[in-house]
């Protein structure tokens, strides 16, 4: 059985994608799964969240192992071969990172140039376009993984198109503002187009032994990041944000599923996987010690009430992890029975 590959994507930056992937990677590991976190954003923020600067210097500047995602695709770029084996960075037992790389941006043009070549049945085009998926599948075998989480940059470029083709499922992180909603409006038609274009191409594969991704990128729901000035005493968002929040269930349905449900609110919406608390200064604190918020201890500097908040975060992230797993499973059941 294939392992679920879940992409976290919205072409709006700063909505908490990377923080989500980081925390969920730790959470799925706590729930007993073997996890691979893959950093496909050339900004490499996920990699910086997991690894110290000294470690990054060793990998990026001194070219020590593990190899980065860029080094995995490098032979294709040079025209001297196929993908390199992904050597993962062990983060903790059961949790490994496919290290990101600023140089990955150099693959963007190549991916864009080879996309039309698939229509002409060119083998190299198929090798380039499927590279990220094939690297992930190899990493899954090497790590014996049960789940793969992909962190993507905020754009609709060729790297993300290839990354999404490599994904079975897509989670859309949102924040309650116009930009995030506009990103969501853009996303649905783009995913639909990419799915169709890949379906046209996949049958033209000239090499029977070259395995290709199905390109499902099935939307499983969204998360909503609370605003920092979220009203703590009533636990209700300020009015200005409320109006964007009200639009979310229908905008999500319209753009991702082509349906509407005028009466749906975010609290009742099964596609709302979680509202994510704004952890304020706890987030930079967690980043500084390279831990998820729910593993923070007083020795890390989480004092007084914030230690309670850190502990409560464990339940919130566990619920989110379980909601994502539930929505992925229910889609799988639908496809096998339909
Ligand atoms: N739940 C949260 N609470 C507090 N700060 C957060 C939260 N999620 C993200 N942030 C902060 O917001 C900024 C953007 O988050 P990030 O995860 O990098 O978003 P993206 O990957 O979508 O650009 C970062 O500085 C991050 O620390
Ligand atoms: Mg990011």
CB 230 near ligand 1, within 6 Å: no
- Domains of the chain in sequence order: 5-279 (3.40.50.300)
CA–CA–CA angle 64, 106, 7 (5° rounding): 85
This prediction has a pTM of 0.96
What six digits make up the tokens of 309? Answer: 């908040």
What local confidence, expressed as pLDDT, does residue 239 receive? 80
> How far, in Å, CA of 249 to CA of 271, rounded?
8
User: What are the two backbone dihedrals, phi and then psi, of residue 111, each rounded to the nearest 5 degrees?
Assistant: -65, -40
Ligand 1 atom at shortest distance from the alpha carbon of 13: 23
Radius of gyration of the chain from its Cα atoms, rounded to whole angstroms? 20
CB 100 near ligand 1, within 6 Å: no
Do the beta carbons of residue 310 and residue 296 sit within 8 Å? yes
pLDDT band at 231 (very low <50, low <70, confident <90, very high): low
CB 18 near ligand 1, within 6 Å: yes
- Name the percent of the chain lying above pLDDT 70: 94
What local confidence, expressed as pLDDT, does residue 261 receive? 86
- Map residue 39 onto helix, strand or coil: strand
Beta bridge partners of 8: 151, 171
Closest CA to 39 of 134, 175, 132, 172: 132
More confidently predicted of 329 and 50:
50
> How far, in Å, CA of 73 to CA of 79, rounded?
10
Give distance in angstroms: CA of 288 to centre of ligand 2.
17
**DSSP secondary structure letter of residue 257:** I
- Map residue 103 onto helix, strand or coil: helix
Put the strands of the sheet holding 35-39 in their side by side order.
89-92, 95-98, 35-39, 147-151, 5-8, 169-174, 218-225, 272-276
What six digits make up the tokens of 178? Answer: 């116009």
Cis before 66? omega within 30: yes
pLDDT at 228 over 90: no
Ligand 1 atom at shortest distance from the alpha carbon of 45: 18
What local confidence, expressed as pLDDT, does residue 151 receive? 98
Give per-residue pLDDT as tens, 83-112: 999 999 999 999 999 999 999 999 999 999
Ligand 1 atom at shortest distance from the alpha carbon of 15: 22
CB 327 near ligand 1, within 6 Å: no
Over residues 63-82, mean pLDDT: 95
Mean pLDDT is lowest, of 154-158, 282-286, 301-305, for 301-305
pLDDT at 337 over 80: no
CB within 8 Å of 203: residues ≥ 6 apart? none
Do the beta carbons of residue 7 and residue 161 sit within 8 Å? no
CB 291 near ligand 1, within 6 Å: no
More confidently predicted of 229 and 208:
208
More confidently predicted of 232 and 290:
290
pLDDT at 221 over 50: yes
What six digits make up the tokens of 250? Answer: 């229908």
pLDDT at 281 over 60: yes
pLDDT band at 333 (very low <50, low <70, confident <90, very high): very low
> How far, in Å, CA of 58 to CA of 42, rounded?
18
What local confidence, expressed as pLDDT, does residue 43 receive? 97
H helix runs in 238-281, sequence order: 239-252
Closest CA to 9 of 135, 145, 144, 162: 162
What local confidence, expressed as pLDDT, does residue 334 receive? 53
Mutation test of ligand 1: which of 7, 17, 18, 19 has the most ligand atoms closer than 8 Å to its C-beta?
Answer: 19
What six digits make up the tokens of 148? Answer: 């793969």
Give per-residue pLDDT as tens, 247-274: 999 999 999 999 988 889 999 999 999 9
CB 276 near ligand 1, within 6 Å: yes
CA 70 from chain centre, in angstroms, equals 18
Output the average pLDDT for the chain.
Answer: 93
Give per-residue pLDDT as tens, 113-153: 999 999 999 999 999 999 999 999 999 999 999 999 999 99
Give per-residue pLDDT as tens, 163-210: 999 999 999 999 999 999 999 999 999 999 999 999 999 999 999 999
Give distance in angstroms: CA of 226 to centre of ligand 2.
17
CB 17 near ligand 1, within 6 Å: yes
> How far, in Å, CA of 291 to CA of 132, rounded?
27
Give distance in angstroms: CA of 104 to centre of ligand 2.
15
Give distance in angstroms: CA of 141 to centre of ligand 2.
26
pLDDT at 2 over 90: no
């Amino acid at each position: 059985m294939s392992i679920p590959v879940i992409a976290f994507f919205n072409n709006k930056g700063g909505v908490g994608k990377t923080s989500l992937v980081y925390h969920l990677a730790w959470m799925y590991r706590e729930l007993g799964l073997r996890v691979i976190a893959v950093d496909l954003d050339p900004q490499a923020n996920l990699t910086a969240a997991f690894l110290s600067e000294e470690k990054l210097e060793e990998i990026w500047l001194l070219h020590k192992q593990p190899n980065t995602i860029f080094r995995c695709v490098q032979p294709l770029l040079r025209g001297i071969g196929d993908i390199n084996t992904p050597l993962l960075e062990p983060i903790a037992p059961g949790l490994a990172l496919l290290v990101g790389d600023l140089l990955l941006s150099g693959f963007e043009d190549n991916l864009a140039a080879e996309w039309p070549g698939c229509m002409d049945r060119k083998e190299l085009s198929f090798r380039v376009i499927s590279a990220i998926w094939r690297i992930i599948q190899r990493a899954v075998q090497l790590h014996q993984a049960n789940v793969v989480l992909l962190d993507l940059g905020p754009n609709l470029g060729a790297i993300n198109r290839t990354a999404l083709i490599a994904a079975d499922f897509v989670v859309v992180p949102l924040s309650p503002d116009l930009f995030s909603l506009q990103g969501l409006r853009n996303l649905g038609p783009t995913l639909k187009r990419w799915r169709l274009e890949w379906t046209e191409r996949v049958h033209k594969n000239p090499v029977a032994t070259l395995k290709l991704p199905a390109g499902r990128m099935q939307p499983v729901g969204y998360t909503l990041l609370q605003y920092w000035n979220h009203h703590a005493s009533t636990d209700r968002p300020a009015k200005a944000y409320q109006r964007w929040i009200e639009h979310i269930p229908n905008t999500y349905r319209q753009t991702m599923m082509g349906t509407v449900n005028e009466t749906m609110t975010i609290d009742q919406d099964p596609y709302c996987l979680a509202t994510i608390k704004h952890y304020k200064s706890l987030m930079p604190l967690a980043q500084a010690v390279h831990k998820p918020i729910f593993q923070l201890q007083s020795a890390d500097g989480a004092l007084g009430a914030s230690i309670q908040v850190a502990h409560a975060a464990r339940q919130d992230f566990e619920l989110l992890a379980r909601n994502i797993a539930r929505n992925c499973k229910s889609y799988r059941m639908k496809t096998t029975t339909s």
